[in-house]
Each structure stands twice: as C-alpha cells, then as structure tokens.
Amino acid sequence: MTTIRDVAEKAGVATMTVSRVINDSGYVSEETRAKVEAAILELGYVPNMLGPSLRFNQTKTLALIITDITNPFWTTVARGAEDAAREEQYNVILCNTDESAEKQDQYVDMLLKRRTDGILLVPASDSPEAVKLMRSQDVAVVILDRRLSDVDSIDSVRSDSFGGAYTLARHLTDLGHEHIAILSGPRNISTSVERVEGFTQAMLDAGLPHNLERVFWGEYNESIGFDSAWRALRQEPRPTALLAANNFIANGALRALAQAGLTVPADVSIVSFDDFPENINPSPFLTVVAQPAYEMGYRAAQLLLARLAGNGSEDFQEIILPTTLVMRKSTAPPKSAGVWTASSVL
Amino acid sequence: MTTIRDVAEKAGVATMTVSRVINDSGYVSEETRAKVEAAILELGYVPNMLGPSLRFNQTKTLALIITDITNPFWTTVARGAEDAAREEQYNVILCNTDESAEKQDQYVDMLLKRRTDGILLVPASDSPEAVKLMRSQDVAVVILDRRLSDVDSIDSVRSDSFGGAYTLARHLTDLGHEHIAILSGPRNISTSVERVEGFTQAMLDAGLPHNLERVFWGEYNESIGFDSAWRALRQEPRPTALLAANNFIANGALRALAQAGLTVPADVSIVSFDDFPENINPSPFLTVVAQPAYEMGYRAAQLLLARLAGNGSEDFQEIILPTTLVMRKSTAPPKSAGVWTASSVL
DNA sequence: TTGTATGCGTTATCAC
DNA sequence: GTGATAACGCATACAA
C-alpha cells in the first residue's frame, strides 16, 4: 500500500508538503506542487482517511437506522438523508432492523465502535436504552418518524400521524360510514398509537361510538395487514370501511378483500397512510394520506449535520411535517347508508 | 471519550490486559477479568475500532454500489448482501448511483479513502476505469448484475439475461404474436444488450423477421418506459405485444397503454423482467421473468468474503443464476391473429 | 516556503 | 499471567 511517505520520498519532499498539496492548505511553491502531483499520479496514491479519523475522532459518516428497507417509503427517506449528507461531504451507512430491537442494538453497538459521527434513528421499540447509550458516547442523534416516551430534549423529525389519521377517518365519516375498522401497527410504536388516536377523535367528532373492537393492533407489514383485515371483515356488523396505518398493511388488506370476494369501493371502502411512487405503482387507486418521506430524511440529516457543525440552535428541535390527502378511487358511500336512506324515504 | 487507557488505569492493570479481556484472547485470571469488566461498565467504555483498522488496514466493511435504491429489485439484492456480510461480522455501506458514472466514481473514490475491504459493484457504465482503479488499490471486487466488456478475470454474479428474454419472447411467439416490440435499457449496459439478443434469437427461431425498428433502447426507469411504449404503439403495424426489459419500464409501458386507451391483454400483451414482491404489489398481473435478487446479493457477498478470507478458489468465478418464468394474466393471443385466422378460414 | 516531532487508540510481539 | 513498547497514516503545532 502506498502511503504519504512513499509519495514524499519519490518527490523528494517531506510528508507535510505532500499533505499540503493534497489538502490545498498552507503555502506550496508551484514547482514543488508539480513534483508532488507527479509522484501521486505515478504511485497511484490514495490517502487513507483512517489516519485523520483516528487522530481527530471524526469519521465523516452518518448512519440511518430504518425498520424496513423493502418499503419504498423508507428508501425515499434514505434518499433524502443521503442527499443532505452528500452536500456536507458526509456518507451514510444504511442499517435495516426489520423492526427488531435486538438487531437495532447490534447496529448501534457497531456504529459506536466505528465512531460514526451521527445517527438517524427510527426506533424499533419504545425503549430508551439505545438512545441513552448513544448519548453517553459522543454521537449526535436525531430520532426519526417515531416518538420515544421516556426520552425528552432530543432532536426529532416526524410527520403528523394524528392529523393524517384524522383526515382519513373524517373523509370516511363524511361519506356516511359508521362502521370503520382501523388496521394499525404495534401498540408500542408512537405512530400506530397516534394514528389510532386521530381515528378515534374523528369518530367522536362525527358523533359515532368509539368501539375498541374496531381497533386492530398488529405490525407494519403485508401479512399482518391481511390477518387484521380478515378478522375485521368477519365482525358483525361488517365494517363498511377500513383505515390502514401504512402502505403494506393496506396491501395486505386489499389481498384479504379480494380473497373474501369483496369489491373496493362498492362493498368496502379503504384508505391508507403512505403513497407508493408512480414508478412502483402505475395505476394508483387508493385514497391515501402521503407523508413527505424525502423531506423527512433530508430535514433529519440536516438537523444532525447542524449539530455536528456546532451551529445548531441551543434548544432541541422537534419538527413535525404535515401530511397530504390524495383522493383517488378507493372510497364511496356505504351501501347500507344508501339502502337505509332509500327505505327511510318510503 | 473513554479509552482503553482509562479503563486500564481504573482497573489498575496494563492496557494489554484490558485488550485481552475485551477480545477474550490470551490468559487473564478470573480476578483480573472481574476488575477490568467492572471498570469497563463503570466508565461506559466502548472500544474504538479505528485503532485496529488503521493498524491492520482492515475495516470489516463492504460496500454495495447499486444503480437505483428506489427499485425493490435492488433493495432485495441489498438484503441478500447484508445477510451474507452479517454472518462474517462485516458491515455494508450502501451506495446509490442513479445510473450516473460520475456519482459512481465519487463513491469509489470515497470507499478507497475509507479503506473499505471489498466492493460489490453494479457498474453504471461499461467503462473499465473504476475497476482498474479499485484493482490498483488492494480492494476485493465483485461485479454484480452486469458484464464489463474490457475487464476479464474478475469475479462476477449475474442472472441469465439472454435466457430470460428468450423465454419471454418465446412465450409471446408461441401465442401467435408476430409484431413484438422490446423496450430495453441503455445500449451500453450488458443486461440491456443481452435481453435484446435473447429477444432477437426467439424471433428468429420462430421464423419471424427481426426488425430493428422494434427495438427501443432507453433507460431502466418508468418515464423512459412510458416514452418507448408510446413510440412503439404508434408504429404501423402496431405491435400486438411488448417486452419490457425491467419492472420500471413495464410500469411506464402500462401507463402508456392506459393513456392510449388500450386494454391488456385484449388489445396488447405485455411481459417483463423482474417481479415486484407481494407486499408491494398485492394484485400481481404481469407475466414476468423473475431474477433471484436476494440470491444474487447473497452469493456476490459470499464470493467477496471468501476472497477476503483468502479461501476463495484460485480462478475467478463467474456465477450466472437462472431466471424463473411466472405466468400471469398480461398475455393473450393477438387479436389480429384471431381475425386473420377467421378470415382465412372463410 | 518547507521540515520535524508528536499523538490519535489499539494490539502483536516479546519480555518478565 | 501480566506488562512495556512499537507501529499503523496522517495533520497539527511549531521550528527553521
């Protein structure tokens, strides 16, 4: 391996002079510079960042710990974080936990050992342990997407889960739906909880009873989405509308509806959190509340980088981004409502 | 920051003893071990990998350079690579080039500076420069998915593009299609070229003319897929079937077909490379040739790790994995064939 | 404008 | 069983 010493020797100068040429720092005569550059080229010298990293305890590396790399929502977040990092010459290590707290803790451990400068964390559980550990070392941390109940005074970026769920539920109640089931994520993840709360509030505001049996806790994946929907559709009276707490749950629900021989929206309406980008879904059909995924990643990384540069604000920041309702073709007034109206007219 | 020296001091031992405890190497008395472990716990000591990395020029890091992180195909490859790496205590840095050779070169540069141990590269162009650079430094390299024309004797893993395209085209000609257009990727990417070749061979084998105007070179994305399909559908005679060279091109084509008011498969049949996983596409509809994405990533990483462990085979390896035809509902015999048959009977 | 010495955190080596 | 020392590659502080 070629080192800075080899280059110095070949160019007949000291290592410091080579360092000055590489980093464009300090004074170097044109003549010397040319000699050094020739030597670098000839030897194919590539500087070793590990030296400075060790010396200055700065790796120019961020990590993004997400819960599901197969979900386009998260890869979009990753793109945002990546773009922000690139602007400051930082690189991003992407870590995928599959919603496993154990995997998450393994990653955190590894990242600390590598002296990663900052970590963007989507917590796989509500436990504050990981954050406490990171804080005890000198890593900058931004919590992404989810809230941690036992941690305060921490930078965080998420979108408005309560508001998004309220909007979706309100859309359904406005259409006349009274029997609505929510297919949510885990009980111990703040986004799931807040989406259930938004749903509940909308039901109450519409003067409808809040029935706990219409709340299906589960996980943010297709398979559990299918199960939850399947159970919901066997309730009496059958729900006339479903609210899925994320895109994969919605897909599971769609599969359940198809398997049950029910048509959307004629038999059952369905709405969901999270949109799929057009390149992935060429004929979008679901009415959804879209989260600003790219912006979430971008803003979170920016916040982290500001901390690392020492020019963040004094106080911790809590950034909550708005969601956007995208109306499409998966909702209609409930059949029963129509029937009931007609018969009541007679 | 707590270092091994702080721990040694607190435990009243030498740094070497602490090192022995941490790494479970050499002899340490139970008594000493207990003292050291207590000190580690009390000080919250986390070892700094940068030290050994610098000393031994080994970072325990792989990189995976892919061309489109938003494509589920690539994230599945990434999962495979990640899983193989974890088994050997390696970590993976994921780099996304968006098919830009410039971005790719920036990443390679950065990875070399970081002394990444090995690189899995999906080349964004056919240029051999990046590989030459990597080889001149001592990084292990495996080429993934694509072939580089000016580089030989290099480990590589890809799937059978020619065979997959042949299977798809053959399926269409067997149904009676004679006017088939292929919507391919870039001219300078081997997978595009080989898919066109497989298509061409199938046409020839079916005794059909090979018309260069039916070959649409483009890019592996939705927007170009739309454009290519749009142009193809204006040809005379209009193609009765389309073969998309990847999943995003297929989605673009589907959008073009919808916009042109054409029904699949009644008006036009369509087949494609690459499947979407069920959690992303709940009602799969396209007949496709699926590549073993996870296995591609897994095998490629394994190959790389074997090289790093020094127990790879002498010769370079070239692994070509088979594809799988998944028949669904996007193909039917051509209308014109039906009409023509009927009238010829008269 | 250029050069010398030093130290970052860790572990292999060798000594005791 | 335990410890002292040197070395990895580089850039800062300081000297010339």
Nearest to A140 by CA among A104, A115, A103, A109: A115
In this complex, the residue of B46, B51, B114 whose CB is nearest that of residue A49 is: B114
With CA atoms as reference, report the closest residue to B302 among B75, B83, B74, B143: B83
pLDDT at B313 over 80: no
Evaluate whether B4-48 and B56-159+292-320 have a shared fold: no
pLDDT score for A152 = 84
Query: In angstroms, how far is C15 C1' from B50 CA?
Result: 28
Distance from C-alpha of A147 to C-alpha of A151, rounded to nearest angstrom = 8
Global confidence as pTM: 0.93
Q: CA of A70, closest CA in chain B: separation in Å?
A: 6
Of B96, B115, B254, the CB nearest to A282: B254
Q: How far is the CA of A56 from the C1' of D5 (A)?
A: 23
Q: How far is the CA of A33 from the C1' of C9 (A)?
A: 33
- Closest nucleotide C1' to the C-alpha of A6: D9
Q: Using the CA of B6, which nucleotide's C1' is the nearest one?
A: C9
Q: How confident is the model at residue B341 (pLDDT cuts 50, 70, 90)?
A: very low
Q: In the CATH scheme, what is the code of domain B4-48?
A: 1.10.260.40
List, in sequence order, every residue forming a beta bridge with A96; answer none if it has no partner.
A66
For testing the chain A interface, which of B94, B108, B294 should be mutated: the one with the most A CBs within 10 Å?
A: B94
Per-residue pLDDT of chain A (346 residues; tens, 9 = 90+): 899 999 999 999 999 999 999 999 889 999 999 999 999 999 999 999 999 999 999 999 999 999 999 999 999 999 999 999 999 999 999 999 999 999 999 999 999 999 999 999 999 999 999 999 999 998 999 999 999 988 888 999 999 999 999 999 999 999 999 999 999 999 999 999 999 999 999 999 999 998 899 999 999 999 999 999 999 999 999 999 999 999 999 999 999 999 999 999 999 999 999 999 989 998 899 999 999 999 999 999 999 999 999 877 778 999 999 999 999 999 999 986 444 443 333 3
* Nucleotide at minimal C1' distance from the A52 CA: D10
Q: Which residue of A has its CA nearest to B77?
A: A70
Compare all CA atoms of chain B with the CA of A294 and give the residue at the minimum distance.
Answer: B70
* Partner-chain residue, chosen from B70, B258, B280, that has the shortest CB–CB distance to A283: B258
Decide: B62 and B115 in contact? Cβ < 8 Å. Answer: no
B318-321 sheet: strands from edge to edge: B91-96, B61-66, B118-121, B140-144, B156-159, B318-321
Contact criterion met (CB < 8 Å) for B50 and A53: yes
Give Cα separations from B314 to A151, B55, B141, B156, B310 (angstroms): 54, 28, 15, 14, 10
- What is the number of other CB atoms lying within 10 angstroms of the CB of residue B207? 8
What's the pLDDT at A336?
Answer: 60
Nearest CA to CA, how far is B233 from chain A (Å)? 18
Residue B336's pLDDT is 59
Q: Give backbone dihedrals phi and psi of B293, rounded to 5 degrees, phi first.
A: -60, -50
Is the domain spanning A161-291+326-344 CATH 3.90.1300.10? The answer is: no
Which residues lie closer than 8 Å to A339 by C-beta, 6 or more apart?
none
Q: Do B96 and A79 touch (CB under 8 A)?
A: yes
Label residue B148 by pLDDT band (50, 70, 90): very high
CA B139 / C1′ C1 distance in Å: 37
Q: Which of A110, A113, A221 sits opposite B279 (nearest CB)?
A: A221
Other CB atoms within 10 Å distance of the CB of residue B329? 12
Q: Which of A114, A138, A282 sits opposite B255 (nearest CB)?
A: A282
Q: Taking the domain A56-159+292-320, which CATH number applies?
A: 3.40.50.2300
Phi and psi at B239, nearest 5°, equal: -60, 145
The spacing between the Cα labelled CA in B142 and the C1' in D6, in angstroms, equals: 36
Give the DSSP H/E element, type plus range, for residue B303: helix B293-309
Q: Determine the pLDDT at residue A132.
A: 95
Q: How many other C-beta atoms can be found within 10 angstroms of the C-beta atom of residue B61?
A: 21
What is the model's pLDDT at position A53? 97
Q: Is the CB of B313 under 7 A from strand C?
A: no
Q: Give A241's strand partners.
A: A180, A269
How far is residue B259's CA from residue B235's CA, in Å, rounded to a whole number? 16
A239 with A179: CB under 8 angstroms? yes
pLDDT digits (tens, 9 = 90+) for B59-102: 999 999 999 999 999 999 999 999 999 999 999 999 999 999 99
Q: Which nucleotide's C1' sits nearest to the alpha carbon of B57?
A: D8
Question: In this structure, is the CB of residue B58 within 7 Å of any atom belonging to strand C?
Answer: no
Tens digits of residue pLDDT in B255-285: 999 999 999 999 999 999 999 998 999 889 9
Query: Which tokens belong to B106?
Result: 């920036």
* Interchain proximity B50–A59, CB inside 8 Å: yes
Q: Which residue is nearest to nucleotide C13 (CA to C1')?
A: B16
Cβ partners under 8 Å of residue B249, min gap 6: B183, B184, B185, B218, B220, B221, B222, B224, B225, B228, B272
For residue A338, what pLDDT is reported? 44
Q: Which three-class secondary structure state does DSSP give residue A187?
A: coil
Given this model, what pLDDT does residue A342 score? Answer: 36
Q: How many CB atoms lie within 10 A of CB A8?
A: 18
Element (H, E) at A309: helix A293-309
Strand C close to A32 by CB, under 7 A: yes
Mutation to test the B interface, candidates A111, A280, A285, A286, most B Cβ within 10 Å: A280
Q: What are phi and psi of B41, to 5 degrees?
A: -65, -45
Using CB atoms within 10 Å of the CB of residue A64, give its burial: 0 to 12 exposed, 13 to 18 middle, 19+ buried. Answer: buried
Distance, CA of B280 to CA of A87 (rounded, Å): 31
For residue A294, give the amino acid letter: Y
Closest alpha carbon within chain A to B43: A136
In chain A, where the domains are located: 4-48, 56-159+292-320, 161-291+326-344
Which residues from B are below 8 Å from A277, CB to CB? 70
Residue B276 in tokens: 């979407």
The nucleotide lying nearest B15 (C-alpha to C1') is D3
Judge whether residue B167 has pLDDT over 50. yes
